Every structure is written in C-alpha cells, then in structure tokens.
Chain A
Amino acid sequence: MTLVLCRVDDRLIHGQVLVGWGQPLGIQRFVLADDEVAKSGWEQDLYRMAVPQGLEVVFATVASAGAQVRAWDADDRRTAVLLGSVEAAAQLYRAAPSVVRRINLGGIHHRPGRVERLPYVYLSPEEHRLLTELSAEGAEIAGQDLPTATPVPLGSMP
C-alpha cells in the first residue's frame, strides 16, 4: 500500500515533483518508468543528480515497471511512479490495475495535434480516447499539478 503516486509527466522529475509532491508525501523512492530513459545512461545521470541524497531512484522500462509495481506497493518504501506518456500509463495500469488504481495527469505539454484540457494537460484525441477507456476499466484519472491544487477528474475536463 506504499504506492502513493502514479503520475504522467513528460518532464518526469522536476521541481513540482520533488518539492511539490515528494516532500509533503514523504516519498522515498521515485520510479522513472520510461523506455527511452531506461536505455540512456547520460539521461539517467542527469535525473539522478537532481534528486536529493537518500532518495532511491529506479529506472525501468514500462514493461518492467509493470512487473515490479506490486512488489513496490507491498514493501515499506513510499513510492511514486513517473511516466512520460499516456501510453505508458495505460500499459502500467493494465499490468496491475488493482495496485495502480489512480492516475495523476501532472504535465503533458503542447505538441502539434494536442488540445488544451488544462493549462498543464494537452491531449491528442487518441490520448483522450485511451484515457477514457482506462477510466471505463476502473482507473481514477484526474489532473492535478500540485497536491495543494484541486484535482480535476477526467470527466470534468473541458
């Protein structure tokens, strides 16, 4: 029960995540579930450097995160899983729906074809459809950039 946050954020770890979520929630382990970063040594060095000492950082492909997420949830370290895309979130959720349960949309930025849903959430029609499917499968999906902000459920996004 120590998986406290599953967040879609295309910058993975940044100030909002560490200072905004990490400190108040007392997160002890950050999992960066991203296929690109999992095979890029220099990017891993960058992320590791930005994280305070004493915090565990795990780099994993989305598939391997899906295989390990139950174990993370069961051990005693408070864990946040960060995902770089909606597709990755879908893959993780479907690997362990009863553990992941909630998906936080924290930062999905503009790209051609994406439409603004919240100032920090831009979604393409395909991404929106995928999230709607996940929601129908039982995932609780909401946009929330910081823990002090009011969450906006997927269904209430314009």
Chain B
Amino acid sequence: MSVPGWARAFLRLFAIQGDWNYERMLGIGMGYAAEPLLDELRTRDPARHTAAVVRSAEFFNCNPNLAGLALGALARAERDGVPGEQVSRLRIALCGPLGAIGDRLFWAGVVPALSALAIAAVALGASVWAVAGFLVAYNALRIGTAWWSLRTGLREGLQVGGAVGRSWLPRAAERVGPVAGFAVGLAVPLAGRWLLAGVKPSAMVLAVFLAAGGVVLSRWGGTHYSAVRYALIVLILLGAGGMVML
C-alpha cells in the first residue's frame, strides 16, 4: 500500500525550514514538501512537471505553521494547469500576508501565551506537568493548523486568499494577542516569587531593582539595550566585583 502524496507532504511540512537560507528562505523546504504533491504531473505532463519543480523551490517565506496553505494552493494551481506566471505571482503574494497572520497568531500569540501559562503553573506547583501540558497544547494546535492548512490550500488553489479571509484564522490572530499579554503579565510576578523564594531580602531588593532597571532601559536605551546584553553585563560586573570584595 502506498502512502498518498498529501500525507507525505503533510509530514514534510514539519521540516519546512530544514534548509533555511538567506537567499530563498523557506524555498528549498517548500520544494521538498511539494515533491509528492507534484508527482502526478510527472507522467501526465512531464514538461509542466519540470517547470513546476523549478518554481516550487523558489524564494518563499511565511510562518512555518501556515506554510501548508501556500504549499497546497500552489500545488493545486500547478495541477490545474494555471499559467506559470500566475503561480509565481500567487507564491510571492502569499508570503507577506501568511507571515503576518501566522506570526501574530503563533509567535506573538499562542507561544508566549502558552509559555507564560506554563511558567505560572510551575510557580503554582504544577511542576513537570505544566511542561507536558505546554508541549501537548502547542503541538495539538499547530499540528491541527498544519493539517487544516494543507487541506484548505489543496482544496482552494488560487482562491486560497479568500478562503483564509473567511476562516477562523484572522479572528484567532485578533483574539490571541490580549490573551498573550494577560498571560505574560500574570507569569512575571508569579515566576519572580517562585524563583526568589530561597534568597535573602537584600538579594530580593537587588532583583526587583534590576528588573525595574531593565524595563526602564528597554524603553529608553534604544537599540543599545538587549535583554541578554543587559544580563551579561550585570552578571559579569557583579561577579567580578563580588570576587574582589568578598
């Protein structure tokens, strides 16, 4: 029994960023994932197949969790015999919007929301279960999204944009932002209390002072501030100073 092409493409979606590079970004990963979807053209229309494979690996970038929409829609367009120029135009036009909506939904929404909730749960005593819950929740969401994306793309072809616009995606991207904001707000004091539980009051004052100082610097320090740079400088100065004085 052979595995259907869309199922193999679905699995390859999880390595869509496997050859991330500055020239084509997700291009090679997209081409690799498109291979099983374009197979039927190989015998039906070999010239088209070759042209489609070339196009399938060109520049592409969007949020990896939504790449299935473009992958499916472009493969469908190739199989339907849409003129090559139009396929390329769709490919380029999908990059920005799918990136915008996916980054809002996942990188600025679902990920910080779930991560912060997991931190809060650990701080309230949930231990490894919070970590397991984080993994299960995130992966259920993104695997479901990838599945939906590929099926929707394959079904809609050139009409994928309208289908996404009518779907749950824009609304979800809209709603998850405030949730993420609330969750991170909630997690910070809880994590602070949990992590500082064993330290002396004087050290606690230092932590609160540095936390407030970092926030202030990030607001007015411009591009010179980065969280990691700030922490490295603080730790190195404090460590060196402490070793000399203590």
Contacts and interface: CB of A to CB of B under 8 A. Distances in A.
A53 B177 CA distance: 12
Contacts of B97: 13-14, 46-47, 49-50
Contacts of A12: 96
A148 to B, nearest CB: 6
Interface in A42-86: 42-43, 45-53
Contacts of A129: none
Interface in B103-136: 103-104, 107-108
Interface residues of B, number: 33
A97 B226 CA distance: 33
A110 B22 contact: yes
Given A15-B63, A15-B99, A49 B226 contact: no
Given A46-B94, A49-B170, A53-B174, A19 B226 contact: no
A11 B162 CA distance: 19
- Interface of B, helix, strand, loop or mixed by DSSP: helix
Contacts, number: 94
A31 interface: no
B210 to A, nearest CB: 20
Contact of A148 (B23, B100, B223): B223
A19 B223 contact: no
A77 to B, nearest CB: 20
A150 interface: yes
Contacts of B170: 49-50
Interface of A: 11-19, 23, 40, 42-43, 45-53, 109-110, 116, 119-120, 122, 147-151
12 contacts: A13-B97, A14-B95, A14-B97, A15-B63, A19-B104, A49-B161, A49-B164, A49-B165, A50-B100, A52-B174, A110-B22, A148-B223
